[in-house]
Structure 1
């Protein structure tokens, strides 16, 4: 028998993959802090070290297990459906594989192919939906998920946008883990500032509740991409004339306010807006300076943290502890143009002579155009209408086994 452990500590022997969810470390970001002239202690909460590779593993595990306890999910009968930008889908695919539920994910076209392939590897079925479709549209990933639920017997949408187990997962695990890590350090043992991006809002809301219990003076800073409407005051969300409102960063930002994003006064103290260019630059900086293979939303969190700290001298205080949420890793974005284009060697000139840098850049650029796709758009698997119809027809009379939907495969939406 494995030795008893705290629920904040990962066991040395896992009963299954879900035991590897969470329990992620804080990592000092001293090199990045020095490069930006930051006096505060910067720590990244490295969520790509969770079993499924992101912070969303936590909510997926809790939503599935609680739904099963509540009788909402019935083994051998229920089918799970979820609209997601990808990471919740991966977490759900992990949980559904362990618990034996078939899973259908509705995913906007802009989300990376890596996310889709990971979910498929874990047994999920995917329907791509138009990125531009508004959340209330029947063609959006939310709209399509609802239509599938109506069409498929025993289907359940766990609904990360409204499910209280989303923020609760972070209040009970993410926040306490951060507190325990900071309290293990010498000197200041308080979390003074917490910075996180917001998508559904569950991460920042639940973690903030836990951190404010630990230190009522903890400042919580929300990060929202330009083009999203989550930030407060609402004037922050007004676009400039030349801005089209589209953003490439995945997993944060929405065109509506999810129910689980708390507007409780004093919970999220301030908001900052970020640009894709700054977010993706911070991804590269973090890789080169801290050797952390983070994803785009992590870059946004870092960009937001630096923006907030630099905005006023009294915010950056020597000895204070600033924890930045790093929601996922680079695995999900290896072929996205914002990352792949940065591998052509254009940054080499800083450390090499112009002649050598030019030669290396040319070789790498020539290789790049043959080895990586220049097309960043992910084509739809099928037209949404055809996909919904195909799933509804296929599911009629199909038996649901404990390992998946018998007879449903890729052909159903091809």
Structure 2
């Protein structure tokens, strides 16, 4: 047996029991592994449904262009379907999204426009506004608008819900889903509650999003909105696909807990998933007191970990945000073990001869160069030797004429691995600003001293 095209392989994803990460949580915890869809996310389901509905209604015509604001996964589903069905794609996304997601969309031949995250949805620069403007400007185009297009929810009502009901033989008691557009939780939850009204549907939200407060109070509170790191869940507006009547409660999870839990799912269960899965498990653990041993809980694992390699699966990224404890040495701990000495610098207007004298008297090989108090470059013994061999008359020239690029700057949380990789033939040191704002230098000797100390 074979499939006629890749779109026919969407759906029928496995349900897998979690054994380690949810220890201490009552009940049987099952993960719906949506990474086995061809676009590696649950969004394949609704992307194809939205396109098919638009074709039937005549909104999407042959040879047309699909324009959408997407964090990556919906774009992947749309781009895949567009290839099979003969459409072009233009996507707008935010600068919060991982580089891997943007690169993946471009690999499918889509044009991707990256827009700022920290603006209101109504702002002309927002990814919502830019996609709407392009829809008006590009001939024969169609915007699926996954947030308000109810084909999104309908896709999950027709496929995800029935699959879960059959796979659990109707025994499911709780559905746990990270909520972004609201299509997955609303469509799946609606189907399951029609089968058994006692099934609880729990939405996972993030700090900086409006869903939880709106569900509990009916108030849309703009003061709840602020930038957050977690991808794929939470919103700063109310999409039409979020059916608050279907969702019994919302639970908020911090960026840190979501990021660390995402990594733990891979390490403890061998399941390589994205950020919203970490948030969903984090939320479930926070809600464990509401569960009983006989409960059957299904958690949706939306997308694949490969889209987060530069983020949740990168230790330096986690350290920069203070999400990871100092298991390894960092710039901060290296400085703490180092004797505090005033960093030697030379102004860019000083002569090459003065640089030679400073290097000799201080017994050092490289010196940062400053201009109006700012570090703008460096000068090394090797630079001076090369320059004077070519032109001995340069002794009286300002060092700005022969200086090279400055030492790399690192953050206090940068790991010893990253610092070591930056120290090479061109750079014998890195610079770091300490907590008081003072510039410090870390050399290879300092790293050896910190390790052996």
TM-score by length of 2: 0.69
Q: Give the whole-Å Cα distance in 1 for the aligned partners of 2:314 and 2:34.
A: 19
| Deviation at residue 39 of structure 1 after TM alignment | 2.3
Greater shift in the superposed pair: 150-159 or 231-240: 231-240
The structure-2 alpha-carbon separation of the partners of 1:371 and 1:130, relative to structure 1 and needing over 3 Å to count, comes to: farther
Aligned residue in 1 for 2:6: 17
3-state SS of 2:75 partner: helix
Q: Is the 8 A contact 1:223 1:300 kept in 2?
A: yes
SS at match of 1:262: coil
Residue 207 of structure 1: how far off its partner (Å): 0.5
- Structure 1's 72 and 308: CA in aligned 2 closer, same or farther, altered over 3 A? same
Partner of 2:244: 263
Offset, 1:319: 2.1
Corresponding residue of 1:111: 97
| Pairing 1:117-266 to 2, within 5 Å after superposition | 117-183=103-169, 189-231=170-212, 232-234=215-217, 245-264=226-245
In 2, Cα distance between equivalents of 1:339 and 1:371: 15
Shift in alpha-carbon separation, 1:102–1:215, aligned structure 2, 3 A: same
Aligned twin of 1:38: 25
| Cα distance in structure 1, aligned partners of 2:316 and 2:258 | 15
Q: Which residue of structure 2 aligns with residue 69 of structure 1? A: 56
Alignment map for 1:393-404 (pairs within 5 Å): none
Whole-angstrom distance in 1 between the partners of 2:34 and 2:68: 21
In structure 2, the residue matched to 1:329 is: 304
1:285-316 residue CA offsets vs partner (Å, 9 max, x unmatched):
2111101111111101111111112xx3xx22
CA distance in 2, matches of 1:98, 1:137: 34
The answer to whether the 8 Å contact 2:275/2:312 transfers is no
When Rg is computed on C-alpha atoms for both structures, the one with the higher figure is 2
Identify the match of residue 55 of structure 1 among 42, 53, 71.
Answer: 42
Aligned residue number for residue 308 of structure 1: 287
Secondary structure at the aligned position of 1:33 is classed as coil
Q: Map Cα deviations across residues 325-353 of structure 1 (whole Å, 9 max, x no partner).
A: 1111111110126644389997979xxxx
Alpha-carbon distance between aligned partners in 2 of 1:58 and 1:106, rounded to the nearest angstrom: 20
RMSD of aligned C-alpha atoms? 2.5
Flag the 1:346–1:149 CA change in 2: closer, same or farther, 3 A: same
Deviations 1:104-160 (A, max 9, x none): 000111111111111111110001111112111111111001111111111110111
Distance 1:211 1:370, change over 3 A: farther
8 A Cα contact 1:86 1:107, kept in partner: yes
| 1:273 and 2:260 correspond | no
Structure 1 residues 327, 369: closer, same or farther in 2, change over 3 A? farther
Runs of at least 5 residues in structure 2 that lack an aligned partner in the other structure: 329-413, 423-453
**Residue 366 of structure 1: how far off its partner (Å):** 4.5
The 1:168–1:369 alpha-carbon spacing in structure 2 relative to 1, beyond 3 Å, is farther
Q: Deviations over 1:392-411 (max 9, x none)?
A: xxxxxxxxxxxxxxxxxxxx
Q: Does the CA contact (< 8 Å) of 1:79 and 1:102 recur in 2?
A: yes
Q: Distance in 2 between matches of 1:96 and 1:51?
A: 14
Describe the superposition over 1:74-121 as per-residue Cα deviations: whole angstroms up to 9, x where unpaired. Answer: 112x11100111111111111111111000000111111111111111
Structure 1 Cα separation of the partners of residues 19 and 200 of structure 2 = 21
Partner of 1:26: 15
Deviations 1:209-265 (A, max 9, x none): 11112221000001110000012214898799xx9822101111111000111133x
CA distance in 2, matches of 1:197, 1:115: 19
Give the Cα–Cα distance (whole angstroms) in 2 for the partners of residues 39 and 342 of structure 1: 33
**Structure 1 alignment gaps of length 5 or more:** 3-12, 184-188, 350-363, 373-414
Q: 1:274 to 1:238 in 2, by over 3 A?
A: farther
Q: What is the count of residue pairs matched by the alignment? A: 331
What is the rounded CA distance, in whole Å, between the counterparts of 1:342 and 1:25 in structure 2? 31
* Contact 1:22/1:51, CA 8 A, preserved across alignment: no
Indicate if the aligned counterparts of 2:263 and 2:313 stay in contact, CA closer than 8 A.
Answer: no
Instruction: For residue 17 of structure 1, report the CA deviation from its aligned partner.
Output: 1.1
After superposition, the Cα gap between the structure-2 partners of 1:369 and 1:200, relative to the gap in structure 1 and judged at 3 Å, is farther
Cα 1:336–1:109, aligned 2, differ >3 Å: closer, same or farther? same
Secondary structure of 1:31's partner?
coil
